[in-house]
Chains A and B, each alone.
Chain A
Amino acid sequence: MANHFPKTANTLPAKLLIILGVLTVTVVAGVTYYFTPKYTRVGYMPTQPVAYNHYLHAEQLGIDCRYCHTYVDQSGHANVPDAATCMNCHSYVKSDSPQLEPVRVSYETGEPVEWVRIHAMPDYVFFNHAVHVNRGVSCVDCHGNVNEMEVVWHDKPMSMAWCLDCHRNPEEYIRPLEHVYDLNWTPENAEAHAEWAREHVVSWNVNPPQSCSGCHR
């Protein structure tokens, strides 16, 4: 009996499979790359053990960032407050709110509250809060308007390119030191502020590192 199919047909199913596979990968990769947000971390909004409300505390009550994040201007770490800090007020205010149960337990037992980390730098990045806030970079530049967040989310991409945006153009980000912790601050006159910033980059000798050693050790 004559061959109905040419010899090449033997490999056809395999070829089809391979083509299908390549196509699938391409489509998946393409969709992943082009149709998803560039930084998946942005918008990360985990549920915290205590539904702490920054909007209420920082915006409505007007508590300064540094009341809780005490060492942000001294240390590389901006510390998360200990339970005792919460208890300063919450021994009197809402002292039996069920929402605050984990804080009270922590205060009594000494076991820490397990806050979920939102802004996680990779291990090889050594970011220092103190040097930024003391040299005119505001909290808002990296964390967004936390004072308006009822639940904190990851607001900025925090990729290396994003860091370098500021390190290459510090004049677009620095502000007078008295406004660093004022997250709602906007210059009254944008042009005057731009001029001020250009002047102060020079007079403060703001020369942010662009070398690897600036952040990686």
Chain B
Amino acid sequence: MNKTTEHSAPTEAGLQGPRYWRSLDERVDSPEFKEWLHREFPQGAAEAGGVNRRHFLKIMGASFALAGFGAAGCRRPEKYILPYAQQPENTVPGIPVYYSTSFPDGMDSIPLVVETHQNRPTHIEGNPKYEPYGGGINAIVSASVLNLYDPDRMTASTRATGASRRQRRVRKEEVYDAISEIRDEYRRTDGQGLAVLAAPSSSPTRRRLVERLREDFPRMIWTEYDPLAQDAAERAATEAFGEPTRPLHRLERAKRILSLDADFLSPAEPGSNALSRAFAKARRVRNRDEAADMSRLYQVEGPFTITGSMADHRLRLSTSAVPALAALIAAELLEQLGEEAGFARSLRAEATGLEVDAEWVRECVRDLREHRGESVVLAGAHLPDSVHRLVVLINEKLGANGHTVKYVSVPRQTAASYREVAEAAREGRVEKLIVLGGNPAYNAPADLPWSDIAERVPAIVRHGYYFDETGLDASLNIAATHYLESWGDGRAYDGTYLPVQPMILPLFEGISELEVLARLAGVRRTDPYDLVLETFGGIRGGEGERPDRAFARVLSEGFAADTAFAESGGAVSRSRLMGLLGNAAFAAPALSRDSLAVRLTGDPKVGDGYYANNGWLQELPDPVTKSCWDNAILISPALARELGFDTKSGKFLIGGIAANRAQFRGGRESAPVAELEVDGVTLSGPVHIQPGLPDWEVVLPLGYGRRRTGRVGSGVGFDAYPLHRADSGLSLAGASISLTRRSHFIANTQNHWSMEGRAIIREGNVSMHIEDPAWAQKIGMESHSPPIYGMDKDRPLSELSLTQPRGGSAYETPAFGEPKPNLRVWQSEEARADFIPDQQWGMSIDLNACTGCNACVIACQSENSIPIVGKNEVLRGREMSWIRLDRYYSTGSNEENQVSLPADPQASLMPVACLHCEMAPCEQVCPVNATVHDTQGLNVMAYNRCVGTRYCANNCPYKVRRFNFFDYNKRATDEFYKGPLGRDQYKTEGGVLASMQRNPDVSVRMRGVMEKCTFCVQRIQQARMAQRVKARDSNDVHVPDGTFKVACQSACPTEAIIFGDISDPDSAVSRAKDNDRDYALLGYLNTRPRTTYLARLRNPNPRMPDYASMPLSYKEYKARQPKPLNGTRPESS
């Protein structure tokens, strides 16, 4: 309680006598003065946030007292240097070592180069020497390094004991004993009663061990299961060829591509890295001729994918109707070719229930046919086998075989399907089930439920990386090693042999899968290295070189050259194919508001759910919906209207949902929860309206709603696996949806979907480009404002970057090409003649190649130690990732965009990080000079100077600056608001483990500090210094082009990002920027960004019914241009 003291008012007498006045105001006793006197403190001071002065002083007193204690903390802490006791060879403290290895990815493997600091893997990059992938990786590969340091991984094997099935830790030796017991037990029965359920793998060593197991246990059931199986195309080709065959699509040779619901630019399709790279190769356009030669992509799809956003013609069609469309395409092709008239007729008759423009099909097929040998058709891995068989037929008829499709012979697939083990278990034929990887308890098909197996099989042994849903049912849980911890091998999708090389000893008591199998198979030497070496000897044997020497050479390359699968010598057996296709059904189900199609999709971030506990991936916004930390029931705008959403009143809301039902604020999308019912199974989840979906299809991403996982993945999203059935794959029909009264907040990082007719992403048609390659220069505000560089506008970029001409700017900028005036030696005339200026860094991003796959975002997070902030913070718009992928929809009509959500838009994606403006608006407002320019043209952040005013972020027109509202590195995501009372993550075991991933070459940013893309300044500086070390007493200080790559550039699977020295006219980046399509984002602001973009080209077919003579975004732009007074629009300039 506050004590108040009453002072008696001064008496009249007391006021007698001389009066002194301090100011004229007081003398005249003005009302302002009285007010001032009354307030005592300036405005606002007395009202300071509910804390009164007395309270304030109390706290201050306490603080001072504490400061007294704390003074001891001001002492210089004693730090220690801990050298090695015996320094290992080739380890130089401070210099990272790079190891080649590969990422096992089901049917595929991705060759990698991993950066390690004192044997601690910190950052994953692709192996650029392997040509098909060219160093490209995807977001999941990049993020997999975080799994290594996941504090929630299984740290020791456990055994369930007692009736309560409590898991008790067991030592490695006990696990070995248990495995040999199993071996001994089932040797007697030839494996009767033993079953193995494994995740697919491309490892030749595993294949070899499985063969050995089969010899010892001939009656063992070996099955492989992947809820998102990718082997459908291989199965169809195998049937058609009569021998194990895999199709490889060579998109770099394809001029016309038809993709049937295949999201081949994301990891959903096998070998997607090679496909992305090849696709981008055929879309790289430097001049008019290359534009005329650009490929064209027809995309038919149910969900809206990044592949759909890259398409030239996108047909939204429910996945359930895609088989019918495939039949129609095949029929149309056969008719146009005049072949197999009877079969074509029957296909046409089969393809019922399809509502699709016949002209679309006709013209698409005509275009494919006219590019015989240069066209290709792909089908999504989730589609039924009949579609894949048709695709084999279509590709043959298109003359694609041997040109755009290469069939290779692969080893025979011997594993049985999940159905087999489920049925065996149901019949009581399985006594012991060994689950290797995977997580069937979570993602087994709903029509063959895991619970049936778990109840009927007496003993389940589980080998897994996490203790998850399946682990709960297992009597023995064997902790697995991470692929960066143990030896292994694999094959790329084209068959190239890839070693998996560990770079750190197992952090915990993990056992590798190969070792478990080897022990089960009774192999004498169970060390994974020996196992792999033996396999390698078999592949590369008999060449007169010791296998370990040969293997060492392979390790230094990262892959074994010339080990790819050989091209199949066989041919498509027409009779067999026709026999298989003869009685296939292709009918499309009738869809309506009450009978919806459901499409389950593998999530581009958490995959089948395995990566649910990876914070980077959870916080990564989905490239199309832009939401993170959640999945949602994606519905079309038409369905939304049916459900009662008022899409008219929701101006610019992402959902377009009526104001009172859902609001979009900051990063918060308030979404109503809906219930979806299919065949008696009901799911509930938040609804997100996704433009571009087929009207009567809902899309459900899988992999969320994990019931048992670590602290990151718990409670994230809802589980859609109850709808996943072995018989219907990922597509169902007959669903109904209804809204509940509940709602849910979805963290969504982009709330505005329209470019509003501004030239942000510049898109043109190939025809426009051929007519006038400089079209991209002629749109945007700067095209009709005075030139930015004024009289210097025609000077080459290399000169502009060094001289910084003032142009139309109000400010003069010091030229980077001259020595600093405070360097005395350099001021003389002859010295200046010899001066070699710093290199000027710049970046070019080709929007024609960028697919929006998110690989760069995670690579950046890994390289720059960017923290995750958790859903609660993303809801407030505080995500930290330095690269943001913007996704815009365009419909061609600005008026319509104001009032409704687009049903069938074009989508365009654009990565934006700090553009390193030469005239940076952020620098002009920083009160403490924390963000300034350096002499290499970088806009740098001195974290230690930053006081956190955030003026820079407010003044940044690109909104690329990120502020540390909390100690994101030091506190757990649920303890940010506890401040210093929260646990210090650096002192917890999990925090220490996670911090092992951090890059030692960048600062860890603390609370109150602004950060942003630095152009990987640490890599630039290291390259510069390495060059100077090399130069020694010479002036050879110029870092050669291509010496280093920035993190995003190196991860990019399509080489859309090029970085380098723009003051060197011969550098790759200068050559990339020397392109008519080059433009600066918001260039009219005179920010002169160092990162510029290459405008996007679309290549639509003029004969198609949905042909648009200009991209829809360009149409919106044109519509926004003011009309001249005489009433006619100016020509394209």
B1034: CB under 8 A from chain A? yes
User: For residue B84, which residues in chain A have a CB less than 8 angstroms away from its CB?
Assistant: 82-84, 112
- Per-residue CB contact flags for chain A residues 150-170 toward chain B (1 = under 8 Å, else 0) read 000000000000000000111
CB–CB B825/A120 < 8 A:
no
B1008: CB under 8 A from chain A? no
Q: A130-B1025, A205-B834 are in contact. Are A169 and B824 (CB under 8 A)?
A: yes
B1002: CB under 8 A from chain A? yes
A41: CB under 8 A from chain B? yes
CB–CB B824/A171 < 8 A:
yes
Q: A84-B85, A207-B826 are in contact. Are A217 and B1031 (CB under 8 A)?
A: no
User: For residue B93, which residues in chain A have a CB less than 8 angstroms away from its CB?
Assistant: 71, 75, 77, 79
CB–CB A217/B1002 < 8 A:
yes
CB-contacts of A20-75 with B (<8 A)? 40-41, 44, 46, 71, 73-75
A134: CB under 8 A from chain B? yes
Q: A77-B93, A217-B1014 are in contact. Are A207 and B81 (CB under 8 A)?
A: no
A76: CB under 8 A from chain B? yes
Task: Of the listed stretches B15-23, B695-703, B749-757, B931-939, name the one at the interface; the rest are far from the partner chain.
Answer: B931-939
CB–CB B823/A207 < 8 A:
yes
- Per-residue CB contact flags for chain B residues 78-90 toward chain A (1 = under 8 Å, else 0) read 1111111111000
CB–CB B1021/A217 < 8 A:
yes
B714: CB under 8 A from chain A? no
Q: How far is the CA of A61 from the CA of B1018 in the complex (A)?
A: 39
- Per-residue CB contact flags for chain B residues 94-107 toward chain A (1 = under 8 Å, else 0) read 11000000000000
CB–CB A216/B81 < 8 A:
no
CB–CB A168/B85 < 8 A:
no
Q: A126-B1001, A209-B934, A212-B934 are in contact. Are A46 and B78 (CB under 8 A)?
A: yes
CB-contacts of A198-217 with B (<8 A)? 198, 200-205, 207, 209-214, 216-217
User: For residue A85, which residues in chain B have a CB less than 8 angstroms away from its CB?
Assistant: 87
Best-surrounded residue of A84, A169, A214 (most CB of chain B within 10 A): A214
CB–CB B80/A212 < 8 A:
no
- Per-residue CB contact flags for chain B residues 991-1005 toward chain A (1 = under 8 Å, else 0) read 000000000011110
Q: How far is the CA of A202 from the CA of B945 in the complex (A)?
A: 32
CB-contacts of B993-1038 with A (<8 A)? 1001-1004, 1014, 1017-1018, 1020-1021, 1025, 1028-1029, 1031-1035, 1037
A5: CB under 8 A from chain B? no
- Per-residue CB contact flags for chain A residues 111-147 toward chain B (1 = under 8 Å, else 0) read 1111111001011101010110011100000000000
Q: A79-B93, A114-B80, A214-B934 are in contact. Are A124 and B834 (CB under 8 A)?
A: no
- Per-residue CB contact flags for chain A residues 173-213 toward chain B (1 = under 8 Å, else 0) read 00001000000000000000000001011111101011111
CB-contacts of A71-109 with B (<8 A)? 71, 73-77, 79-85, 106-107, 109
CB-contacts of B848-896 with A (<8 A)? none
Number of contacting residues on B, CB 8 A? 57
User: For residue B1028, which residues in chain A have a CB less than 8 angstroms away from its CB?
Assistant: 131, 134-135
Q: A82-B84, A123-B1004 are in contact. Are A204 and B1033 (CB under 8 A)?
A: yes
B944: CB under 8 A from chain A? yes
CB–CB B85/A83 < 8 A:
yes
User: For residue A203, which residues in chain B have a CB less than 8 angstroms away from its CB?
Assistant: 834, 1035
User: For residue A116, which residues in chain B have a CB less than 8 angstroms away from its CB?
Assistant: 78-81
What's the minimum C-beta distance from B79 to chain A, rounded to whole angstroms?
4
CB–CB B944/A216 < 8 A:
yes
Best-surrounded residue of A110, A126, A168, A198 (most CB of chain B within 10 A): A126
Q: What residue of chain A has the Cβ atom nearest to residue B1014's Cβ? A: A217
CB–CB A213/B1037 < 8 A:
no
Q: A126-B1001, A134-B1028 are in contact. Are A117 and B80 (CB under 8 A)?
A: yes
CB–CB A84/B820 < 8 A:
no
B220: CB under 8 A from chain A? no
Q: What residue of chain B has the Cβ atom nearest to residue A208's Cβ? A: B823
B337: CB under 8 A from chain A? no
Q: How far is the CA of A40 from the CA of B1032 in the complex (A)?
A: 34
Q: A112-B83, A198-B825, A205-B834 are in contact. Are A126 and B76 (CB under 8 A)?
A: no
Best-surrounded residue of A82, A116, A134, A207 (most CB of chain B within 10 A): A207
Q: What residue of chain A has the Cβ atom nearest to residue B84's Cβ? A: A82
Q: How far is the CA of A122 from the CA of B944 in the complex (A)?
A: 10
What's the minimum C-beta distance from B163 to chain A, rounded to whole angstroms?
45
CB-contacts of B363-390 with A (<8 A)? none
Q: How far is the CA of A107 from the CA of B84 in the complex (A)?
A: 9
Number of contacting residues on A, CB 8 A? 60
User: For residue B87, which residues in chain A have a CB less than 8 angstroms away from its CB?
Assistant: 79, 82, 84-85
B981: CB under 8 A from chain A? no
CB–CB B85/A106 < 8 A:
yes
Q: What residue of chain B has the Cβ atom nearest to residue A198's Cβ? A: B825
User: For residue A216, which residues in chain B have a CB less than 8 angstroms away from its CB?
Assistant: 940, 942-944, 1003
CB–CB A210/B820 < 8 A:
yes
CB–CB A168/B822 < 8 A:
yes
User: For residue A82, which residues in chain B have a CB less than 8 angstroms away from its CB?
Assistant: 83-87
Q: Which residue of A71, A74, A107, A124 is within 8 Å of B944 (Cβ)? A: A124
User: For residue B1004, which residues in chain A have a CB less than 8 angstroms away from its CB?
Assistant: 123
User: For residue A75, which residues in chain B have a CB less than 8 angstroms away from its CB?
Assistant: 92-95
What's the minimum C-beta distance from B798 to chain A, rounded to whole angstroms?
18
User: For residue B822, which residues in chain A have a CB less than 8 angstroms away from its CB?
Assistant: 168, 210
What's the minimum C-beta distance from B935 to chain A, rounded to whole angstroms?
5
- Per-residue CB contact flags for chain B residues 824-839 toward chain A (1 = under 8 Å, else 0) read 1110000100111010
What's the minimum C-beta distance from A191 to chain B, rounded to whole angstroms?
15
User: For residue B838, which residues in chain A have a CB less than 8 angstroms away from its CB?
Assistant: 207
Q: A107-B85, A107-B86 are in contact. Are A124 and B1003 (CB under 8 A)?
A: yes
B506: CB under 8 A from chain A? no
Q: How far is the CA of A198 from the CA of B1029 in the complex (A)?
A: 20
CB-contacts of B426-445 with A (<8 A)? none
User: For residue B835, which residues in chain A have a CB less than 8 angstroms away from its CB?
Assistant: 202, 205, 207
User: For residue B95, which residues in chain A have a CB less than 8 angstroms away from its CB?
Assistant: 71, 74-76
CB–CB A213/B1032 < 8 A:
no
User: For residue B79, which residues in chain A have a CB less than 8 angstroms away from its CB?
Assistant: 116-117, 120
User: For residue A76, which residues in chain B have a CB less than 8 angstroms away from its CB?
Assistant: 94-95, 1025
Q: Which residue of B82, B83, B942 is within 8 Å of A212 (Cβ)? A: B942
User: For residue B826, which residues in chain A have a CB less than 8 angstroms away from its CB?
Assistant: 201-202, 207
Q: How far is the CA of A200 from the CA of B826 in the complex (A)?
A: 11
B1065: CB under 8 A from chain A? no
User: For residue B941, which residues in chain A have a CB less than 8 angstroms away from its CB?
Assistant: 212
Q: How far is the CA of A147 from the CA of B1028 in the complex (A)?
A: 27
CB–CB A80/B934 < 8 A:
no
User: For residue B80, which residues in chain A have a CB less than 8 angstroms away from its CB?
Assistant: 114-117
Q: A73-B1029, A212-B934 are in contact. Are A168 and B86 (CB under 8 A)?
A: no
User: For residue A171, which residues in chain B have a CB less than 8 angstroms away from its CB?
Assistant: 824-825
CB–CB A213/B82 < 8 A:
no
Q: How far is the CA of A81 from the CA of B834 in the complex (A)?
A: 41
User: For residue A210, which residues in chain B have a CB less than 8 angstroms away from its CB?
Assistant: 820, 822, 935
B722: CB under 8 A from chain A? no
User: For residue B1032, which residues in chain A have a CB less than 8 angstroms away from its CB?
Assistant: 134-135, 177
Q: How far is the CA of A114 from the CA of B81 in the complex (A)?
A: 6
B819: CB under 8 A from chain A? yes
Q: A74-B95, A116-B79 are in contact. Are A131 and B1025 (CB under 8 A)?
A: yes
Q: What residue of chain B has the Cβ atom nearest to residue A134's Cβ? A: B1029
| 9 A–B contacts, CB within 8 A, in A order | A46-B78, A76-B94, A111-B85, A112-B85, A131-B1028, A202-B825, A202-B835, A207-B819, A211-B940
Apart from the given pairs A84-B87, A202-B831, 14 other A-B contacts in the complex at a CB distance below 8 Å: A76-B95, A79-B83, A82-B85, A110-B86, A113-B82, A114-B80, A123-B1003, A123-B1004, A124-B1003, A169-B824, A171-B824, A212-B932, A214-B934, A217-B1021
* 7 cross-chain pairs, A with B, having the tightest CB-CB distances, nearest first: A211-B934, A77-B94, A205-B1035, A75-B94, A112-B82, A117-B79, A131-B1025
Chain A residues proximal to chain B, CB less than 8 Å? 40-41, 44, 46, 71, 73-77, 79-85, 106-107, 109-117, 120, 122-124, 126, 128, 130-131, 134-136, 168-171, 177, 198, 200-205, 207, 209-214, 216-217
